[in-house]
Structure formats: C-alpha cells, structure tokens
Structure 1
Amino acid sequence: MKKLAIIISSPPHGNAKGREALDIALATSAINHVSVFFVDDGVFHLLPNQQPDHILMRDYIATLNMLELYDIDDVYVCESSLKSRNLTQIARNIPSKVINTQLLNQLLTTKDVILRF
C-alpha cells in the first residue's frame, strides 16, 4: 500500500483539475492511503454554498463529502493559504485540519507519491 498525497492548488471552477483530483482520490482510496491537501487557490473548494450552475459548471464540490465515506480522513488545509485569502474565519464545507506550512512539508515528505492539481 502506497501513501498518496493529492495537492489541490487550483480554484474549483474554470477547469477540471479539482474534479480530477477528487476522482483520483476516491478511485485510489481502496488500494492506497490517501491524504488530500488544499493549498493556494485550492482552499476555495472548501467554501460552503457555492453555485457553479450560475456559470454553467458542474457541481462536483458536493462530492467532497464522499471523502469521509471512502475513509479519506487525512484532509488538510494550508493555514497561510487561508490567511492570504482572508478565509480563516469562514466555515468549511468538509471536516479538515488546518496546518502550517512547516507541518505540511513534513507530511509530504512521508508520502510515496505526490500528485498536484
């Protein structure tokens, strides 16, 4: 069993990177230990009450709730990414652990495979 890190750094709408990252996380969770990291503009995935249908995009954000169902409990959010976007006080749409950059880097060094979207 490999330790897989999926880093989501792209915003949720305007491209398919976030949806692809989520698909890979769910598909590989049966054979790998998966950790998901939201960094940079990826933290926008965690905002509640998004309405992507207004910009004619598919609402895959609701699928984030599937992470827990697939036993993906290691979901992390970069504290400095939240701070730089003034999102530290905003409720997040899924359970996640806010971590500093140093801990994020330490956790990534323990992974066998790192995929960035």
Structure 2
Amino acid sequence: MIVAGFGFRQSATADSLADALARSGGAADALATPADLAEAPAFRALARRLRLPCRPVEPAALTAQATSTQSPASRASRGTGSVAEAAALAAAGPGARLLSPRVISADGRATCALAEGASG
C-alpha cells in the first residue's frame, strides 16, 4: 500500500494538495495528514476527488518517525522534520519506507511525500 502524506497551511486548496501529490509521483492508495488537519476542507475535497481513504495521524505517531528532510518550521510546530514524510510513514504502518521525500506545491502551501508499507 502506498500512502501519500501531506502537510499544508490553512490557506492551501485542494489544487495545492493535488499539485504536491503530482510532484511526488502521483500514485497513492490512501491519504494521510495530522489528525487536526484531517477535516480541513482542502484535504477532504482532494480525498473525494481521488476517491481515496483518509488516515488521520496522531501527534505521537508523527514525532516517532525519522524523516529524510528537515524543516525548521515543521520541527518547531510539529516536532518532526517533515509533516508530510512523518504522516506517510506513520499511516503506512510499521516497517514502512519512504518512496518520495517531501515535495512542495508550486504555490508553497502544501507538501507531499509517499511511503510504502503493509498497513491496509
């Protein structure tokens, strides 16, 4: 299973998220983001558009992940180097591996990373 993990600003649109997903490689079986962002209109709209399930990720699961990229802003606000990478890895399950490190949407409002794991 491939999970697309997202980090995004409140000003992000579904198109921002879709652009980040396309830049990361574009193929996913599920979408993941921090639990407090899982009901954001842009995230829900993308999930409906793609007909993919959403996996909210709790803060402790985010901070438990080792990320390949490091954003000082993500580290300060969420305790992880990359919200997108951490969300993808956590939602993909134990032993997941990163397929694509975080990429940033053209408008700079969203990031996406892909992880593969056995979690279904």
Give the TM-score band, short-chain normalised. Answer: 0.3 to 0.5
Q: Answer with 1 or 2: which has the greater Rg.
A: 1
Q: TM-score, normalised by structure 1?
A: 0.38
Q: TM-score, normalised by structure 2?
A: 0.37
